[in-house]
Amino acid sequence: MTTFAFRRTDAAHILATTLLGFGIAASAHAVPATAPAATLTTADTTALPSDSVYRLSAALTDQSGRGFRLDERRGRPLLVSMFYTSCQFVCPMLIESIRDAERQLAPAERAQVDVLLVSFDPEHDTVSVLKRTADERSVDPAHWTLARTDAATARKLASVLGIQYRALANGDFNHTTAILLLDPQGRIVARSSKLGSAEPAFVIRVRAAARLAP
């Protein structure tokens, strides 16, 4: 079962993090990763670059039911993608790709990068469904956000990110898969469509962004 494989990998990942990067990883996890981003919520959006994804005014809700605006993620590098939780095949591989990229970072680099996955299936992906998925996939809640928004905002976010999706009559979605790396100002600086494992060139870009992060 692929699900078990993912969980086993998670366990190995957590163990490796704990053993190898004990000091740094522990301090990174002790400080809520959302704190630096939250201090920027009052940032003047007019200072954003013209091509910043954060120009989009989007209200989202995370897996714990907390509301936030997309531009609150300003100030740190962000890996962002879109998905839907009832997806059986591609979406677990998407999560695995992102996790593989994280795994290849040093703990100090990893601590600089957040992950945001937004559902394009708001009808089914309620807060409780997102929470369950986050738990099942054992994602690190200090760095990973699974979020939902209304259908119109999801379409706009997908348009900004260059992600296509289409609801099918049977409840599935056709969609393209893209993991976008945003710099702290919300510009798309790298893009990957590789599933299951991380693309080496993409990891290099993520690492560079993490090292540049304040």
Partner 1 sequence: MVRPRHRSRAACAAALLACSLAALAADYVEVPAGTIASALAGDADRTPALLAAFSLRETPVTQGEFLRFVTAHPEWRRDGVPRVFAGSGYLRGWRSPTALGDGVDEHAPVTDVSWFAAEAYCESEGARLPTWLEWEYVAAADASRRDARDDPAWLARILGWYARPASDPLPEVGGAANAFGVRDVHGVVWEWVDDFTALLVEGDSRTGNDPDKLKFCGAGAINLQDRDNYAVLMRIALLSSLNAADSTSSLGFRCARPHS
Q: Which residues bind partner 1 (CB under 8 A)?
A: 48, 50-53, 55-56, 84, 87, 89-91, 152, 155-156, 158-160, 162-170, 172-177, 193, 195
Choose between 51 and 136: whose C-beta lies nearer to partner 1: 51
- Report, in Å, the least distance between residue 102 CB and partner 1: 21
Tokens read off for 164:
């296509």
Choose between 6 and 84: whose C-beta lies nearer to partner 1: 84
Choose between 40 and 93: whose C-beta lies nearer to partner 1: 93
Tokens read off for 203:
């990891």
- Report, in Å, the least distance between residue 195 CB and partner 1: 6
Q: Which residues pair with 165 in a beta bridge?
A: 175
The pair phi, psi for residue 28, each rounded to 5°, is: -65, -35
Residue keyed to tokens 């163990």: 15
- Report, in Å, the least distance between residue 84 CB and partner 1: 8
Give Cα 152 to chain centroid, integer Å.
20
Nearest to 162 by CA among 201, 197, 190: 190
Report the alpha-carbon distance of residue 183 to residue 88 in Å, rounded: 30
CA dihedral of residues 167, 172, 175, 178 (deg, nearest 10): 130
- Report, in Å, the least distance between residue 165 CB and partner 1: 6
Choose between 38 and 152: whose C-beta lies nearer to partner 1: 152
